[in-house]
Every structure is written in C-alpha cells, then in structure tokens.
C-alpha cells in the first residue's frame, strides 16, 4: 500500500550467496508499482509473492501504488524510470493490450516502452448481480428480460472505464439488444461496496474480488467470461454456453520493466518469480482467489502481449466504442 509496507530481504541474502545477481542500479529497493487502489487483485497476489521472494535479491522488495487513470499513471511512471529493474509495473494485461485502443492519447507505447518480466496469473471476470437486482433474477436470460422491461435501471458497474470488464458489458449489451449504461468506479473496492449496497444492480468483476460474497449468497454469479467454466465456479455458466460467443476471454496479471532494462535483470526476476509460483504458499493464494498461475519466459510473455493487443483491437472495433480522452 505504502512504502512503509515493504518486505525487507537484505538480511536473508546469505541464504542465496551462491547466486550471482546483476546490478539493479544504486538504490536499495526494487519497487513493484500498481496503478490501482489497494485491496484488489494486485494486493491479493503480489504481496504474498513478494513475501516468498524474501532473500532472493539483495534489495528490499516494496509494493506501492500510483492509482488513477485506469492504471495509466503507474504505467507512465515506470516507463520513465531508469531501465535497471528497480521500478516494475504490476498490471492486468489490459493496461498494455486494451488501453491503446480505447484512449485517444497514451504517454506510453505498450509494445515499445516495456520489457515483460513475468506472468503471474490468469484470471476471469464474472457478471455479478447484487441486492439492487430483484432476487428472482438468477440468470443472464432473466437479467436481459428485466433490463428490457426496466431500461432506465439497466446500469452496470465496472472498476474503471476502458477496461476489458467494460468491454464485456458492451458486448453483452450489443448482443442482447439492450442499452446498458456503464458506471465506472475508481477501483474494484468502491464498486464492490456499491454492488453490495444495492446502488448498482449488476457489475462485471474480477472473480477473486467477489467470490467470497458469491459463496456467502450475498451476490449472484450469472456468467463468467472465460471460454470454459472456471474451476473455482463450476456451477456458473460461461457466456459462450449462453450463446454470447464474442464474450470469451480471460486476462492475466504481469510484471513489466522499462524498455532497455538489461536482459540479465529481466531474466533474474523472471527465474525468481517462476520459481515461486508453484510453492505451497502461492498455490494456496491462487486457489483461494480463483486464479491460475501463469509463469512464462519473457519471450513467451512478449508474444502473448502482442497477440492480446491485436485481439483487443478487433474487439473494440466490433463494439463501435469511441476512444476517450
């Protein structure tokens, strides 16, 4: 959350004395920056991952945030940082793969200004109903019928505008013949508060952020965006099953360094992260939060980034979305 919330690793360096570390600049810290408010997916995953990385590097590992502008503030900051691996961007892939297609101006080129470091996990999104929607509505078909009868209330919340969650709602609205109006929030936390409070009837959420409330019965999961049913939610249908073939995607969380960061630094970070994704502690984190570990080489992650970039270009064009800002 803040710089004081760090994981001090220097004292444990003796445990890995045989490993040769590249130079990470003159600072004492490696800072992983999130572009979103505390309490979201990044907190759930990167904090425990950094705890597992304790002692793997001479520097302290710090988790910090620069929230705002749908993650663009943090992305721009890391892009302008010295290319030595001391400042890393943690973000959902959409900040780099989708944003170029939904915002008129970016201060970064995602395919030029960043070096993919590590893929942390895959995750899916869930179309979620809260107490603001009548209790008898238990499926997407029920929702579509209700929304057509109550067009003034056909609003849906998303953690931020111009995200893949936003696109999911647009695709549903278009395919179902609705006029769903998006209500963007400043992060998943504020959205969840309003969803639970009934201020917004439905939302598209990162599954890990709403799963405890779905399991408790406070929220209803109507469909997931993944191509096949999500392991943690086997009773929830996919949009594809329901006939919405264009709503078929997952997203992934990654760490990125500024372009020009030496390959030795990138590879050292990649090896350290990948070595921890299958640890017992991280397996528990992934299972508890309905996530799937990713773990790829920088080269494969770079290819994945380009593939997803091209995919979202096609999707945005199909929705008729008008770029903002």
In eight-state DSSP terms, residue 323 is: P
Q: Is residue 94 part of a domain?
A: yes
- Assess whether 116 and 41 both reside in one domain: yes
Q: What is the pLDDT of residue 26?
A: 58
Query: CATH code at 97?
Result: 3.40.190.150
- Assess whether 108 and 189 both reside in one domain: no
CB 309 within 8 A of CB 99: no
Range of the domain at 313: 6-123+251-319
- pLDDT exceeds 50 at position 6: no
Q: Is residue 231 part of a domain?
A: no
- Assess whether 88 and 183 both reside in one domain: no
- pLDDT exceeds 90 at position 5: no
- Assess whether 130 and 24 both reside in one domain: no
Q: What is the pLDDT of residue 27?
A: 63
Task: Of 64-73, 126-135, 171-180, 270-279, give the lowest mean pLDDT range.
Answer: 64-73
User: How much of the chain is helix, strand and coil, in % rounded to 5?
Assistant: 40, 20, 40
Q: Is residue 213 part of a domain?
A: yes
- Assess whether 98 and 142 both reside in one domain: no
Torsion of CA 306, 307, 312, 318, to 10 degrees: 130
CB 227 within 8 A of CB 124: no
Average pLDDT, the chain: 89
Q: Is residue 242 part of a domain?
A: no
- pLDDT exceeds 70 at position 52: yes
List the structure tokens of 259.
């372009």
3-state secondary structure of 79: helix
Q: What are phi and psi of 275, to 5 degrees?
A: -70, -20
Cα radius of gyration (the chain)? 20
Count up the domains in the chain and report the number.
2
Query: What percent of the chain is predicted at pLDDT more than 70?
Result: 91
Q: Helix 298-319 vs helix 164-176: angle between axes, to the nearest 10 degrees? A: 40
Q: Give the residue among 109, 198, 210 at the shortest CA–CA distance from 165.
A: 210
3-state secondary structure of 16: helix
List the structure tokens of 46.
């990167």
What is the spatial distance between Cα 243 and Cα 195, in angstroms, rounded to a whole number? Answer: 26
Q: What is the pLDDT of residue 325?
A: 64
Mean pLDDT across the stretch 22-49? 82
Q: What are 120-158's pLDDT values in tens digits? A: 999 999 999 999 999 999 999 999 999 999 999 999 999
């Amino acid at each position: 959350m803040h710089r004081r919330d760090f994981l001090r690793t220097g004292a444990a360096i003796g445990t890995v004395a045989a490993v040769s570390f590249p130079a990470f600049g003159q600072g004492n810290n490696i800072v992983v920056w999130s572009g979103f408010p505390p309490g979201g997916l990044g907190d759930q995953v990167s904090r425990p991952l950094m705890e597992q990385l304790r002692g793997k590097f001479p520097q302290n590992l710090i988790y910090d945030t620069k929230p705002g502008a749908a993650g663009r503030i943090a992305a721009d900051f890391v892009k302008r940082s010295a290319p030595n691996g001391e400042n890393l961007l943690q973000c959902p892939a959409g900040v780099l793969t989708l944003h170029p297609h939904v915002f008129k101006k970016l201060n970064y080129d995602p395919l030029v200004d960043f070096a993919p470091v590590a893929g942390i996990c895959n995750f899916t999104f869930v179309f979620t109903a809260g107490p603001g929607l009548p209790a008898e509505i238990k499926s997407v078909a029920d929702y579509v019928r209700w929304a057509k009868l109550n067009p003034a209330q056909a609003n849906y919340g998303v953690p931020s505008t111009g995200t893949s969650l936003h696109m999911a709602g647009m695709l549903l609205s278009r395919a179902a013949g609705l006029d769903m109006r998006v209500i963007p929030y400043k992060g998943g936390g504020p959205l969840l508060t309003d969803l639970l409070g009934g201020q917004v009837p439905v939302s598209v959420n990162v599954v890990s952020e709403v799963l405890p409330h779905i399991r408790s019965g406070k929220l209803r999961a109507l469909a997931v965006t993944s191509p096949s049913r999500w392991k943690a939610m086997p009773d929830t249908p996919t949009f594809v099953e329901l006939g919405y073939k264009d709503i078929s995607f997952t997203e992934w969380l990654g760490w990125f360094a500024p372009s020009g960061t030496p390959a030795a630094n990138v590879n050292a970070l990649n090896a350290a992260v990948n070595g921890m994704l299958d640890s017992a502690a991280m397996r528990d984190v992934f299972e508890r939060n309905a996530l799937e570990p990713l773990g790829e080489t920088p080269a494969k992650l770079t290819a994945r980034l380009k593939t997803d970039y091209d995919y979202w270009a096609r999707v945005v064009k199909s929705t008729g979305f008008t770029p903002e800002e």
